[in-house]
Amino acid sequence: MKKSTYTIGFDLGGTKLAAAILNNKGEMLDFIKVPVDMKREGSATKTQKRVIGLMTDIAMDFKKRYPKETSGKQFLGIGLASAGPLNAEEGKLTHPVNYPGWKIVPIRDLLQKAVHAQGFKTKVHFQHDATAAALAEGWVGGAKNMNSFAVVSVGTGVGSGVIFNGMPAQSRGRGSEYGHTIVDYRKLQENPEKLHHCTVEGVASGTGLLRRAKEMGFEGNSVEELVVSKDSKYEVLFQDMSLALACLCYDLSIGYNLERIFLSGGLIKIKNLYLADLKKHYKSMIQQMNPDFECKIEIARTKNTAGVLGAGYLPHLYS
């Protein structure tokens, strides 16, 4: 019988940090999710220090409560998945969109140095959160035994992780940033400096939905409040969201001839507002282009734990 091995996974996003200790079957021994306010200190440097400190404290708490699993050869390391853009090979965030003021931050090495300073001598592995989510879906989710598939994560931002012929579709540590593909070129012509407003993420993410709603007079502070308001004038936002995501799925399909596309992320909980139209738009477009490229679009089986599961898988992949 194969001996169990263990890892710790961190999934860092614009509004939350998820962490888990996992075994080699992808089972979580423990899980924690905490809010992360990236604007609290008003200083990117101070926020970075707090976030690194928070991850270190969680790692040390896991080590204290699971001493056997986090020591010796059975512990393979720590995996960190983060929203990007980033360079996975260099372990650096590079002007991440959802972390205000962050520029080039060697977050992998900062975390590794911090846990080493606490006596936890282990390696930290790093990857884009949507790519990690795709790795998780292939590990323990609906993409088992598939060679080419994608996960589109819809939450604070829109991430995309592509596994192509069994490996992340990245070059020199970068790539798979399809959430930043342009879907509103007319707005880009009008406001060339507002590129982020014209992308899939600018239209379909939680941040994009909230910004656009406020431009229409919405006074709330969250997508949840927007949904609860049930004001019909905001229906156009979810119509645009479904079309933008359908365009993204279309682009991924014709670019990689995928076996399947999976949706994950925090906004899966409001899928009733956009998923049916997304599939309808996608089918119409792909059928017009070439039906041989069409694939199924499904909800990821790893759901909202995809990022942290994928982070926990990284030490298995790169050790």
- Listed in sequence order, the residues at least 6 apart from 175 whose beta carbon sits closer than 8 Å to its beta carbon are 162, 168, 169
Q: What is the DSSP letter of 197?
A: G
Q: In this structure, are 270 and 196 located in the same domain?
A: yes
Q: Identify the pLDDT of residue 25.
A: 95
Q: Are strands 260-264 and 296-299 parallel, antiparallel or unpaired?
A: parallel
**Residue of 41 and 297 predicted with greater confidence:** 297
Q: In this structure, are 29 and 150 located in the same domain?
A: no
User: Model-level pTM?
Assistant: 0.87
Report yes or no on 222 lying in a domain: yes
Report yes or no on 134 lying in a domain: no
Q: Which of 162, 178, 166, 165 is nearest to 127 (CA)?
A: 162
Q: Hey, what are 294's tokens?
A: 């069409």
Looking at the structure of the chain, the number of domains it has is: 2
Q: In this structure, are 26 and 114 located in the same domain?
A: yes
Tell me the pLDDT tens digit for each residue of 98-119: 899 999 999 999 999 999 999 9
Owning domain of residue 69: 6-129+306-318
Report yes or no on 190 lying in a domain: yes
Report yes or no on 69 lying in a domain: yes
Q: What stretches of the chain show up as alpha helix (H) in DSSP?
A: 44-65, 107-117, 129-140, 185-190, 200-204, 206-215, 223-229, 235-256, 275-289, 306-318
Q: Hey, what are 266's tokens?
A: 């925090």
Report yes or no on 67 lying in a domain: yes
Report yes or no on 122 lying in a domain: yes
Q: In this structure, are 176 and 81 located in the same domain?
A: no
Tell me the pLDDT tens digit for each residue of 209-251: 999 999 999 999 999 999 999 999 999 999 999 999 999 999 9
- Listed in sequence order, the residues at least 6 apart from 291 whose beta carbon sits closer than 8 Å to its beta carbon are none
Q: In this structure, are 223 and 104 located in the same domain?
A: no
Strand partners, 22: 7, 28
The CATH number covering residue 99 comes to 3.30.420.40
Q: In this structure, are 196 and 261 located in the same domain?
A: yes
